[in-house]
Structure 1
Amino acid sequence: MHTKDKTARQQALSKAGDKARGSTLINVCAAGFAGLVAGFISLFFLSDSLAALGIPDPGRLTTFGLPFFRGVGWVLMALAVGSFMASAFFIAPRIPGKDNSRLIEASLSVDGHIAARTGSFAALGVSVVALLEVPLVMSDLTGTPFLRVLNPELMSIAFGQIATAQVWLVTAVISFFVGVGGLFARGWAAQPLLFFFALMQVVPLGMEGHSASGGDHDFGTNSLLWHLVFIMLWVGGLMGLIAHSRRLGPGLAVAVRRYSAVAFISIIALAISGVINALIRIEPSDLLSTRYGLIIVAKTVLTCVLALVGLVHRQATIPQLGQRPQLFRRVAVVELIIMAATIGVAITMGRTPPPPPRDPNLNSMQLLLGYELTQPPTMSDVWTMFRFDLMFGTIGLLAAAGYGYALLRLHRRGMKWSNARTAWFMSGAAILVIVMSNGIGMYIPALYSMHMLGHMILSMLVPPFLVLGAPLTLVMQAWGPGVPGQPNVHDLAVALTKSRILRFITNPFINLVQFLFFFYVIYLFADLYQFAISEHAGHVVMNFIFLVSGYLYFWEVIGPDPLPSRGPSSLRLGLIFLSMPLHLFAGVYLMQMQIILGQDFYSSLNLPWHPDLLQDQRVGGGIAWGFGQFPLLIVFGKLFVEWLRDDRATAVRHDAQADDDGDADLADYNAMLAQLNDDR
């Protein structure tokens, strides 16, 4: 064991006879308690739910087992998220020479290694539970006893028709790779990445369920996804913190402070997303008159209790953390038990039929889009329509708020920041919010031409504005370096600029390939495009890909933020010229294509104005052909200015050298010419 870790543990052990303990039993009990709550509620209080849905009773094994293992799985997901959160952000790693600028080279401490190993085992546990959920879901939805569903032929037929089973299989794959990756990762640099993918375990499940069907399902799905993400952060963070505290790990005060900020943000996000999701599903009068409403009420009451326990932490236990760490742990364990009960109650919503929709006569648009589009898009209408996008609109607002907070910190430190950079970033965030919430965003899922317009805006308009705001540089200036050996936000940002993965992705040639790849692969394969647009989840994933791919591309090409490596201006300018014909070719190809991409989905919307889908696709090709010219003006202008600066800097260096050595280079050159003349 490292000497530093030994000393820290010895000091902790001497306090009030405290002893280091593991948390395996607590984690197992939390997962089991969540499963038992879900299972018993489903078995004894929701027995008539299946009959209401017109599905035969699959038997007690499925009726109890499905919600039980689902509760276990959700707690294990939270444990994986929280453990990697601890190893990445709560527990200080071993930094060479305690030089925080070398954070990217750090190895995990003993506590960090234990946390990462716990996260890996939890993720592997999720993978096992998810595989078990596949036949349980099939048994539940088909009314077939569990043991009969295990027939391979029956499973293959049912699996192709049951989306929930497919979603659990996707979750199993993600969890497996997270678990295996965590077991092999030894350095700190991999921990933030593992934390991100552990959080991604909830995404497939968040895209499926009651919130993903019926009217306003865009609001329902997006609010549920936010809800699940912040549940994982809140519950998982507490589990990681309890484990670190019971191990008597060093730096507990720092870890508690960081988790406290996460918990505060999470409870606000959970309240907002929960209210939105509930109002979409039920009327206020249904809260006390339906099973679904009673479950929401129970979940709300438990969440309020958790908020009060969090207040106790802030007011009573955290101020006494140094003198009475046992008090903090005891209250935290009670809080975890209530969280597990809340998860168990929430799980039962998936097997409880919600009240019938307000409008029982939903048309195709309302079922597939979540809202109606009664008129074809016009130049004026798309700018006057408004339906806030809970996913990308929220991301834009959060980005602007985070940038503003960093500016406030910077001014408090007495430092200045470029107004032009602020204008660039805030304009990019505003464009993201406005475009994804106005008529353009509303028509993106309904028409190919508007989808292409949205693609171009997300990948070629918003990213240049954001990267020119230099957000990473702002973070590094707004937060000073952390205490040696205790990295903070500044040091995390510096580590990102030295990431090997980022170095690979932002290699000029690799970056160009990834930018063009997503453009071509989505539109040149008709079946893939049809699959992607058929569900709300596909639209969300595609839009994320467009935005992230564009940001990486323009970050390397024109971004002022530092990167592990960046090609010279001349090379980047040349690659821009190389990419232009490829974009033009794609646009021309789409305009000439006779196969209608996504025809089945677009036809199923039954849009009342009956658009010509082939002509609309040609318009989309024209948008792809012509739209890229405007962002390229910004790129060319920026790169040309950089090229002039580089040229001037080179000239200045040559002039300075000439002054120092009497222009020796010119004299040598003239002598060479004279020698050549004499040889003739």
Structure 2
Amino acid sequence: MSALQEKETTTRASTSTRKVRSTWPLYLLFFVFAGLVGATISFEFLTDSLVALGIPDPGPVTTWGLPFFRAVGWMLAALAIGSFMFAAFYISPKVPEGDNSRLVEAPLSVDGDIAARTGAVSTLCFGLIALLMIPLTLSDVSGTPFRNTLAIDMWGVAISQVSTALAWSVVAGISLVVGVAGLVFRKWIAQPLLFVGAILTIVPLGMEGHAAAGGAHDYGTNSYLWHLVGMAVWVGGLMALIAHGRRLGPDMETGLRRYSSVALFALIVMAISGLINAAVRVEWSDWFTTTYGFILVAKTVGLVLLGFLGFVHRMLTIPVINSRPGMFLRFAVVEVILMAAVTGVAITMGRTPPPPPRDPNLSQMAIQMGYDLYEKPTLGNVFTMWRFDVMFGSIAILITAGYLYGIWRVYRRGGTWDHRYTAMWLLGTGSLFVTTSSGLGMNMPATYSMHMIVHMILSMVVPLFLALGGPLTLIMAAYEPGEPGRPTAHDWALAITKAPLLRALTHPLVNTMQFLFVFYVLYLFIPLYELAISEHAGHLAMNWAFLISGYLYFWELVGTDPVPVKRPTAIRLAWLVGSMPFHLFAGIYLMQLTTVMGEDFYMSLGLPWELNLLEDQKVGGGIGWASGSFPLGLVFLLLFIGWRRDDRATEIAYEERVASGEDQDYEAYNEMLARISAGGAAREEFEEKEFPRAAETPAEDTPEPPEGPVLDLRSRRKR
């Protein structure tokens, strides 16, 4: 019996005396407890909040209902995220014949299917709560009784005039799509995408509220997004593990170890992002002198206590999880109850007015962008201005550290790694960091020309270098393949390179269209561009679109990672050449445009230097035309070199086959020549035998032409 079989036998024996128990009663306990904590605290401080905001009391339904359902909604979102994450990465699917290279075909196991269904139902329930929050939000901000905001026409007012209601409507739409997809797609390959989709359901709520208003709102919003995602992954992952333990599922130890690593990272992210967010909105002296500060202190103490409890919990329970799983479940339930309490406390911050801002006299520029600019950007001074981008600067640091950690694992396993790939990756992450955190990123929202420079770098330079770095290849080299039927990070990365969705996206036609679509839609539909630059949410979404679209485009063209269908270099080169005019035309179009895009927003900034908006837009169009040519030219050169390399490799392989006598086409050609040669010799022998005189007539016996004038019939005919 193998060690794996012995381990499974021991696990089954240890759980044979236990009963499978449903987890929904615990879920309800977590949800109701979080809701009651949030509603109680909000009710205690509601009077002060309403007085500060000058809003009449909307009534008990809104007073209790809004914080209660908001807290329940957050717990549902966390459960959805944790369940999809569990189905994707914490438990093994039913891999066909135990062949991990066929992971992309694998259906979910029974436990994975239950987790995925839990995620789908939780997402749909979150969507229903999001719909309920639209009239509740309108009632809260207007002081109107809840029953009066249920009319359909009032929903339109709420969505069009209240940013929080608009955010909840977007949440409802995303939740509907993700929830239905979770019920339909039951293979493993869909679970990572559903996990990302579940995270997207909470993103709109992170883009509104106190963090998105006032000065330094770029810091506030970006740090708040990190905080929310970290909390959801932390809380949701533990709830999914509790459910798995109560139904006596397999691989509990593996799932717990993987969750522990993720939970530690999530806790660090929450601590750092929480401190940044608090530093932006609250003076240190306000922590113990204001209601908002007291709530912030209570939340911080709760997180510290949870972090310590979680650390002790993992240290004690992981070594004995197979022999004493009940101990883990008891501790985990207590831990989630504390998490629910912290969630309830955090919810109340949205209804409690923060202390007065540090600078009550913010400029219009600081209100719109989050900070002030003092000098006109030039080629030199953009690299002397620095403002760390909490979103993309952090991502640049994290993926750099992750890549270097992967290289360390490769060398620890005794392997080697091509340093050219490392150089390309570091160029990509370095470009991302400098572009978003230097004066380039700072001035991007202020002028069209700087916007276009950053756009070109984010869509054509950063993705090109990252695609040449081969991150999936590094993962496959850094991690060993899992045991049969037990996939690891190596097998996950391999499955991604075979995914059907990637096959469709990397088709040359689809890939080219998606890359051009982002560019043309953004600039041809002017209202979309104005929305993207005037709202921080639009700014973030636009930059993410540049990076993702560019990475997919260059991955298929010149990327070092495998793709489902690797087309010949000549075909990829032909697609690039065919699409280049479309890339360049957009820049020419922008240079000819006579309408200033985003004019109202740019005029509202009040820049401290003179700026001709139309001329600046033409400069931006020229930058888009010229700077786009450089990376595309580099890609053309790479593809051309690759094409010549492929041809040379084909020639060498052909010559080697010919030299070894293994080329059947070459041998057949020689046989054909031999037959032709043999046929010519036989013909000569036949002619010599049948026509001896003709064959022996010397050349000098050929009759000479008659002497004298030659009759020219053509001249006679003319006469």
Q: State whether TM-score is above 0.5.
A: yes
1:230-288 Cα shifts (integer Å, max 9, x gaps):
11110011011111111110010000000000001011110000000000000010001
Aligned ranges for residues 9-408 of structure 1 at < 5 Å? 12=12, 14-15=14-15, 17-408=17-408
Q: Which region of structure 1 is more displaced relative to structure 2, 581-590 or 339-348? A: 581-590
Q: Distance in 2 between matches of 1:582 and 1:117?
A: 44
Would you say how many aligned residue pairs link Structure 1 and Structure 2?
674
The match for 1:575 is 575
Post-superposition offset of 1:672: 11
Q: Within 2, Cα distance between the matches of 1:676 and 1:245?
A: 84
Do the aligned partners of 1:594 and 1:614 also contact (CA within 8 Å) in 2?
Answer: yes
Contact 1:51 1:57 in 2 (8 A): no
Q: In the alignment, what sits opposite 1:449?
A: 449
Q: Does 1:667 align with 2:666?
A: no
State the distance in 2 between where 1:385 and 1:92 align.
49
Higher mean alpha-carbon deviation, 271-280 vs 637-646, is at 637-646
User: Is structure 2 residue 466 aligned with structure 1 residue 473?
Assistant: no
1:188-241 deviations in whole A, cap 9, x for unaligned?
111111111011111111111100010000000000000001111100110111
Aligned mates of 1:346, 1:457 — CA distance in 2: 38
Query: In the TM superposition, what is the alpha-carbon distance from 1:583 to its structure 2 partner?
Result: 1.7
Instruction: Please give the secondary structure, in 2, of the residue aligned with 1:18.
Output: coil
Alignment partner, residue 546 of structure 1: 546
Letter in 2 for 1:61: V
Structure 1 residue 576: Cα displacement: 1.3
Distance 2:249 2:201 in 1: 28
Secondary structure of the residue aligned to 2:208 is coil
1:616 maps onto 2:619 in alignment: no
What is the CA-CA distance between 1:403 and the residue it aligns to? Answer: 0.3
Q: Which residue does 1:590 correspond to in 2?
A: 590
Report the Cα offset of residue 434 of structure 1.
1.0
CA distance in 1, matches of 2:500, 2:233: 27
Match of 2:492 in 1: 492
**Matched residues in 1 for 2:638 and 2:154: separation?**
60
Name the SS of the counterpart of 1:628 in structure 2.
helix
The separation in 2 between residues aligned to 1:299 and 1:348, in whole angstroms, is 10
Per-residue displacement from partner, 1:422-442 (whole Å, max 9, x unpaired)?
Answer: 111011101110111000000
Q: What amino acid sits opposite 1:290 in the alignment?
A: T
Matches within 5 A, 1:479-518: 479-518=479-518
Deviation at 1:14, TM superposition (A): 4.7
Q: Does 1:560 align with 2:560?
A: yes
Shift of 1:163: 1.1
Paired residues of 1:385 and 1:438 also in contact (CA < 8 A):
yes
Evaluate the alpha carbon distance shift between residue 43 and residue 554 of structure 1 in structure 2; reply closer, same or farther with a 3 A threshold. same
- Within 2, Cα distance between the matches of 1:672 and 1:125? 80
| CA distance 1:320–1:608, change in 2 (3 Å) | same
CA distance in 2, matches of 1:105, 1:187: 7
* Shift in Å, 1:37: 0.6
Query: In the alignment, residue 184 of structure 2 is paired with which amino acid?
Result: F
In structure 1, give the amino acid aligned to 2:63: T
Q: Which moved more, 1:275-284 or 1:639-648?
A: 639-648
Please state whether the residue corresponding to 2:161 is helix, strand or coil. Answer: coil
Task: Tell me how far apart the structure 2 counterparts of residues 421 and 493 of structure 1 sit (CA, whole Å).
Answer: 17
Shift of 1:18: 1.9
- Contact 1:400-1:429 within 8 A present in 2 as well: yes
> Residue 633 of structure 2 aligns to which amino acid in structure 1?
L
Superposition TM-score, scaled by structure 1 size: 0.96
CA deviations 1:108-166 (Å, max 9, x no partner) are 11111111111111001101100000000000011111011123333323331111101
Q: State the alpha-carbon separation in 2 of the partners of residues 291 and 523 from structure 1.
A: 46
**How far apart are 1:176 and its partner, in Å?**
1.1
Q: Following the alignment from structure 1 to structure 2, what is the Cα–Cα distance between the partners of residues 664 and 199?
A: 62
Q: Give the counterpart letter for 2:147 in structure 1.
A: L
Give the gaps of 5 or more residues in structure 1.
Answer: none
- Given the two structures, how large is their TM-score scaled by the length of structure 2? 0.91
C-alpha displacement of 1:673: 9.6
Q: Which amino acid aligns with 1:164?
A: T
Ranges in structure 2 where 5+ consecutive residues have no aligned partner: 684-719
Cα distance, 1:665 vs structure 2 = 5.4
Distance across 2 between alignment mates of 1:9 and 1:421:
44
CA deviations on 1:295-314 (whole Å, 9 max, x unpaired) are 10000011011011112113
Measure how far apart 1:671 and its partner are.
7.9
CA distance in 1, matches of 2:158, 2:332: 43
- More moved, 647-656 vs 187-196: 647-656
Equivalent pair of 1:423/1:469 in contact (CA under 8 Å): yes
What letter matches 1:279 in structure 2? A
Query: Residue 479 of structure 1: CA displacement?
Result: 0.5
Partner residue of 2:636?
636
**CA–CA separation in structure 2 for the residues paired with 1:674 and 1:552:** 56
Letter paired with 1:582: F
Q: Secondary structure of 2:47's partner?
A: coil
| Contact map agreement 2:135 2:158 (CA 8 A) in 1 | no
Aligned to 2:652: 652
Please give the alpha-carbon distance, in whole angstroms, between the structure 1 residues aligned to 2:172 and 2:397: 33
SS for the counterpart of 1:48 is helix
1:60 is displaced (CA, Å) by: 1.4
Q: State whether residues 658 and 665 of structure 1, in contact with CA within 8 Å, keep that contact through their aligned partners in structure 2.
A: no
Q: What are the superposed Cα offsets for residues 627-657 of structure 1, whole Å, 9 maximum, x if unpaired?
A: 0222123312221221112111221232233
More divergent stretch after superposition (147-156 vs 62-71) = 147-156
Residues 484, 661 of structure 1: alpha-carbon distance in 2 compared, 3 angstrom cutoff = closer
Partner amino acid, structure 1, of 2:485:
G
Shift of 1:468: 1.0
SS at match of 2:265: helix
Specify the code of the residue in structure 1 equivalent to 2:670: A
Seen in structure 2, the aligned counterparts of structure 1 residues 287 and 234 have a Cα distance that, compared at 3 Å, is same
Q: Which stretches of structure 1, 4 residues or longer, exceed 6 Å deviation after superposition? A: 7-10, 671-678
Give SS of 1:564's match.
coil
What's the CA shift for 1:16?
7.7
CA contact (8 A) 1:91 1:255 kept: yes
Q: List per-residue Cα deviations over 1:86-118 (Å, max 9, x = no partner).
A: 111111110011111111111111111111111
Q: Say whether the 8 Å CA contact 1:137–1:164 is kept in structure 2.
A: yes
Distance 1:581 1:319, change over 3 A: same
Distance in 2, Cα, partners of 1:9 & 1:64: 51
Q: Distance in 1 between matches of 2:234 and 2:448?
A: 39
Structure 1: distance between partners of 2:175 and 2:162: 21
* Matched letter for residue 136 of structure 1: L
CA RMSD of superposed structures (Å): 2.0
